[in-house]
Amino acid sequence: DSGVTQTPKHLITATGQRVTLRCSPRSGDLSVYWYQQSLDQGLQFLIQYYNGEERAKGNILERFSAQQFPDLHSELNLSSLELGDSALYFCASSPRGHRVVDEQFFGPGTRLTVL
């Protein structure tokens, strides 16, 4: 158990809908990262937050947004969902955001299925 929690575990929804994925980092970790894992694209970095502020942005679509709250939990919002958004979404955390040597601790993921 990495100490990172994600809810829900599974999510099934329809095209055009909006969903929110939630992540609680390990106690004391200030950075939260979101990744999308699909069979054809592998593990893609979406976005990083450090202590409430956006720190780095990857291949995140404009339909997706995220935020980190004062208690350091984070939410990833996915809107106008398309079939191609079906994937595993992982959250990871690390103690710091600017220290490149920190390894990341991954949550169990949320499996999103868009029908």
Partner 1 sequence: AQSVAQPEDQVNVAEGNPLTVKCTYSVSGNPYLFWYVQYPNRGLQFLLKYITGDNLVKGSYGFEAEFNKSQTSFHLKKPSALVSDSALYFCAVRDMDSGNTPLVFGKGTRLSVIA
87 SS3 class: strand
Q: Which is nearer to partner 1, 1 or 62 (CB)?
A: 1
**How far apart are the C-alpha atoms of 28 and 113, rounded to whole Å?**
32
Q: Which residues in the 57-76 window bind partner 1 by CB under 8 A? A: 58
Q: Under the criterion CB under 8 A, does residue 97 sit at the interface with partner 1?
A: yes
25 binds partner 1 (CB under 8 A): no
Residue in 36, 48, 74, 93 binding partner 1, rule: CB under 8 A? 48
Cis ω on the peptide bond leading into residue 70 (within 30° of 0)? no
Q: Does 104 bind partner 1 (CB under 8 A)?
A: yes
Q: Which residues, 6+ apart, have CB-to-CB distance to 72 below 8 Å?
A: 24, 25, 29, 30, 32, 51, 52
Q: What are phi and psi for residue 65, nearest 5 degrees?
A: -145, 160
Binding to partner 1 by residue 49, rule CB under 8 A?
Answer: no
Stretch that binds partner 1, among 12-20, 41-49, 64-72, 75-83 (CB under 8 A): 41-49
Q: Kindly write down the DSSP assignment for every residue of 51-65, as one continuous string.
A: TTEEEEE-S--TTEE
Footprint of partner 1 on this chain (CB under 8 A)?
2, 4, 33, 42-43, 45, 48, 55-56, 58, 90, 92, 97-98, 100-101, 103-109
